[in-house]
Structure 1
Amino acid sequence: MTVTVTRFAEATTMPWLGGGGITHELARHPADGDFGWRLSVAEVEQDGPFSRIDGVDRVIVLCSKGRMTLHSPDAVELQRFSPYSFEGETEVACTVSDGPTRDFNVMTRRGAYAAHVATVVGGTAMAEVLPGAEVFVFCMDGTVSCGVELGPFDLSQLDTAATVDATAGAAIVVTITH
């Protein structure tokens, strides 16, 4: 088994287009130009709008203990460690009533890529690697093992099936298909 790891400290950090936070990009394809898919951690520092990204499907998972509510136009309070999906062209604003939060983001170019996002909290799960799929394990909290030890906000890419052990933490398993 080969496991590629991106430590959070190695992520590419950039400000949001509209301000209000920063993004730590952990993985993307292709490496340059417009992405087909992208995995990142956002630091949401204040209330405000999300960037509109037409033709992109988004999944957001709140990692921090603080609250985040999305407005589009109905209010949806995100639950910690629970995936929430929406289309990138949807007008979305957020409020962070407890102060800054961090969330994990999966973005896929609609019609070219699709993502399946599952969480493992305080337990174990098997991460399968299907032909032609890209599979990632992200540590949301604590420590997670998947052939390698991950700390908070570390990401690993698997090339074969692996047991994801999140008994001492919380993990996300992302499967991207083309």
Structure 2
Amino acid sequence: MEDADLRHLLEGGDRRSIGQADAVARRIAGSARGIAAAVRLMQDADPVVATRAADALEKATRADHGSLAPHKHTLLGSVAAISQQEVRWHLLQMLPRLRLDPAERAAAFALAEASLDHRSRIVAAYALSALFALSADDPALRAVAVAHAQARRSAPSAAIRTRVRQLLEGH
């Protein structure tokens, strides 16, 4: 699938609608070219295209985490530098799916930490989840994740308090 074809399916409307993201997710699932195109389009100048590309990519890779492997450096690099909230929350969902070496895990963990106080409650909630997922095999990182969660037990957002409770109960 070419970038232009995929981009055409993702454009139009506003960021609050998913447009054809679900159909694109089904179309790119299992396709190395489709996955690569979606990664590139997460960096599109049009925020609607970037949002929907991130959504489609996150959905397409739920069952096939390995399809993200060739794009690990892009996801941890140029995509991680994108501040757009919709791209960020989908990225935070995908980071734990990557096989990361210790330095990459530290970078992913730092990105999640930096996202904890994002103005979007959705980003903050996914950041908490990412911290716990990324620290599953590292007691030192897990202690940091737990401390971040405990510090948010009385957050003004009910969504954040609920996520904290779920994560601490499962920990």
TM (normalized to structure 2)? 0.29
The structure with more helix, counted as a fraction of residues: 2
The structure with more strand, counted as a fraction of residues: 1
TM (normalized to structure 1)? 0.28
